[in-house]
A and B are shown apart, each in its own frame.
Chain A
Amino acid sequence: MCNLPIKVVCRANAEYMSPSGKVPFIHVGNQVVSELGPIVQFVKAKGHSLSDGLDEVQKAEMKAYMELVNNMLLTAELYLQWCDEATVGEITHARYGSPYPWPLNHILAYQKQWEVRRKMKAIGWGKKTLDQVLEDVDQCCQALSQRLGTQPYFFNKQPTELDALVFGHLYTILTTQLTSDELSEKVKNYSNLLAFCRRIEQHYFEDRGKGSSSIRLS
């Protein structure tokens, strides 16, 4: 959205290369910056920013909505990937451990699962059932949908970090194959969110002729 040239590289040890242990991170010259917040700050320091046109109240709203997405959607995604037995067994373990030889793939997958479960318990999601998690996702999507309304982007004509964040999460939810489609169904209930994702995909990803996003939104 900022028109910056990037090259996407997939590495198995990405989590370990990152300074904070979290992906994604960018490598610019001799600097490495990880996670969305610091990357946005870094890009802003270099002179590119999407949210300069917003006033203080709007910036507050944007930050609040970004936290909502992080709080609800991200946690729900983690829950579904690592705490739901069916998904864990069939998909997550295999996918997470695939770059490594046996027995490392099992060990690392279990370690990651244990870590995520600890985190869930600490924030009180440990006792939630899948239905409750899906309900939370639904509430979150409803809030996003109401905020978006009929506008093209969350803050009218120009995309901001919030749009990028929401697109990232919703696109992943919609295009990742899981054992059940309940999560993506929840998102599909909101037509303006679907249209939003499609619009951003078409505008920013297909125009460049990249073949990487080969999964189309159905």
Chain B
Amino acid sequence: MAAPLELSCWGGGWGLPSVHSESLVVMAYAKFSGAPLKVNVIDNTWRGSRGDVPILTTEDNIVSQPAKILNFLRKQKYNADYELSARQGADTLAYIALLEEKLLPAVLHTFWVENDNYFTVTKPWFASRIPFPLSLILPGRMSKGALNRILLTRGEPPLYHLQEVEAQIYRDAKECLNLLSHRLGTSQFFFGDMPSTLDAYVFGFLAPLYKVRFPKVQLQEHLKQLSNLCRFCDDILNSYFRHSLGGISPAGQETVDANLQKLTQLVNKESNLIEKMDDNLRQSPQLPPRKLPTLKLTPAEEESNSLQRLSP
């Protein structure tokens, strides 16, 4: 399988390789099954708005949507579910449906519909990764799409009201998290010691909820109380994504670089200040003047020259 597999998806932040749930699912599955994926952080945004992200590109195919991508990888012999029994496979399907029906509406609401969260975190993050002028339009469209989905699947026709469903969807999501926690128990992954498709899906949905810093955090608080689910996310991040955060994956590299840059700038500023202070002190009359190289000036002129140079 020498064909290079390229995955286009949204980038990462807050310690995650990607902030987008579906992209994370595919990345996690690829790590679990050993598929060599080259991750391409996109800002090609029309595709993103139509919900086609993540997209897998090979030489002959373009595959979108996580379920289809996972099927494709399985056909290419990258199968993380090899050791599962038929019944565990059936359980996988059922739990994925549970995630999509109960947890996804609340996750969508937390990211895209809740005003505080959307305007302070989600919108700036996505807008900064989308080129102008699409950055003005696209986050709004994604937000409306999320709201639509919540209302149409949970709301009551013919008048759809958000307030009526908000309480219900958060209740459902908390119940779903509790159920997942019961199911995981104390084992490392959902089906024993090897991670599988279900682990990829759960990780993809939970990790952004767990790691992204939001102002309104009721669901996040609930998740943090379920320590085995938090441990599950951290384990996967540490074992499968740690080295790529420092090395290969450009998304992780970006955040590290950005942080480094800020730090370096601060340090540089500080050291500049310190240098200036140092020079000032040295040039002051109390201290003997420094010997400047290649000077034909007298010491007095030297001093005044250097003082003038240093003044802002």
Binding site for B on A (CB under 8 A): 20-22, 56-57, 59-61, 63-65, 67-68, 70-72, 115, 118-119, 122-124, 139-140, 142-144, 146-147, 149
Q: Which of B87, B145, B157, B158 has the most CB of A within 10 A?
A: B157
> Nearest chain A CB to B157's CB is how many angstroms away?
5
Contact call A122/B179, Cβ cutoff below 8 A: no
* A149 CA to B156 CA, complexed, in Å: 37
* A147 CA to B185 CA, complexed, in Å: 21
Contact call A122/B90, Cβ cutoff below 8 A: no
The answer to whether B94 has its CB under 8 Å from any CB of chain A is: yes
Contact call A64/B90, Cβ cutoff below 8 A: no
Q: How many Cβ-Cβ contacts under 8 Å join chain A to chain B? A: 76
Q: Could you say which interface size class chain B belongs to? A: 20 to 34
> Nearest chain B CB to A83's CB is how many angstroms away?
14
Taking A20-B156, A59-B182 as known contacts, 13 extra A-B pairs with beta carbons closer than 8 A to each other, sorted by chain A number, are A22-B156, A56-B182, A57-B182, A60-B180, A61-B91, A65-B94, A67-B97, A68-B94, A115-B158, A122-B153, A123-B153, A139-B93, A147-B91
Contact call A147/B87, Cβ cutoff below 8 A: yes
Query: B residues within 8 A CB of A118?
Result: 152
Query: B residues within 8 A CB of A144?
Result: 90
Name the one of A70, A72, A124 contacting B51, with C-beta atoms under 8 angstroms. A124
The answer to whether B89 has its CB under 8 Å from any CB of chain A is: yes
Contact call A122/B94, Cβ cutoff below 8 A: no
Main secondary structure of the interface of B (DSSP, over half): helix
Main secondary structure of the interface of A (DSSP, over half): helix
Closest A residue to B88 by CB, please name it. A146
Query: Assuming the A-B contacts A64-B97, A68-B97, A119-B153, are A146 and B90 also in contact, with contact meaning beta carbons closer than 8 angstroms in the complex?
Result: yes
Q: A-facing mask of B170-182, CB < 8 A → 1, else 0? A: 0000010001101
* A110 CA to B89 CA, complexed, in Å: 39
Contact call B152/A68, Cβ cutoff below 8 A: no
The answer to whether B183 has its CB under 8 Å from any CB of chain A is: yes
> Nearest chain A CB to B113's CB is how many angstroms away?
14
Query: A residues within 8 A CB of B100?
Result: 67, 71
Query: B residues within 8 A CB of A63?
Result: 98, 175, 179
